[in-house]
Amino acid sequence: MKIVFATNNKNKISEVQSMIPKNIKLLSLEDIGCFEDIPETQNTIEGNAKQKANYIKERFGFDCFADDTGLEVDALDGAPGVYSARYAGEQKNATDNMDKLLLELKDKTNKNAQFKTVIALNFISELKTFTGICKGEITTEKKGKKGFGYDPIFKPLGHEQTFAEMDLSLKNEIGHRGMAIAKLVAFLNGFVH
């Protein structure tokens, strides 16, 4: 079975491909010739995921899933949330985003946060969503070189390492994207023989 994962983020593609059965082949946007920026104009994480999955299905005709992830920080009333990728501006720079967040939390005692991933699957003319949430806290400084995005400043509950210090297998096991992917895979397995 081939299915499009609506992203060109190579980190995400390899992370997700490592979690799904070998008989499901992921195609990237590049693989199907989609080079335009897919709109993300919704005001929720779930809305953006659905918008991206529907865009690929409508324009290219492929069964597709799309994800949107946000970091929700308690002390900032859930920000950056749906704006996580462009928190420090349209350049979508992870270092700028982390620096801005650390600065905003500098004088706050509550560092609780959660990563939330919503995957929208447009499959056989049906739209389904799968959600994964990983609770944790924001660290006071960046640690680790693995992962991407906010991983160097997010420490999951019950762990002493940030996502950026963890092996990919552990991150996938306990992380928000891993949880959402596990639900997606359980669903898709009903169609794979």
pLDDT in tens, 140-160: 999 999 988 999 999 999 999
pLDDT in tens, 57-81: 999 999 999 999 999 999 999 999 9
2-188: what fold? Maf protein (3.90.950)
Q: Which of the residues are catalytic?
A: 68
Q: State the pLDDT confidence band at 193, using cuts at 50, 70 and 90.
A: low
- What is the mean predicted confidence (pLDDT) over 22-50? 92
State how far the Cα of 162 lies from the Cα of 136, in Å rounded to an integer.
10
Per domain, the residue ranges of the chain are 2-188
- What is the mean predicted confidence (pLDDT) over 44-48? 96
pLDDT in tens, 89-139: 988 899 999 999 999 999 999 999 999 999 999 998 899 999 999 999 999
The 3-state DSSP class for residue 89 equals coil
0.95 surpassed by pTM: no
Residue 88 tokens read as 């420090």
Indicate the average pLDDT of the chain.
Answer: 93
State how far the Cα of 71 lies from the Cα of 97, in Å rounded to an integer.
11
In terms of C-beta density within 10 A (0-12 exposed, 13-18 middle, 19 or more buried), how is residue 69 classed? Answer: buried
State how far the Cα of 133 lies from the Cα of 137, in Å rounded to an integer.
13
Answer whether the bond into residue 80 is a cis peptide, omega within 30°.
yes
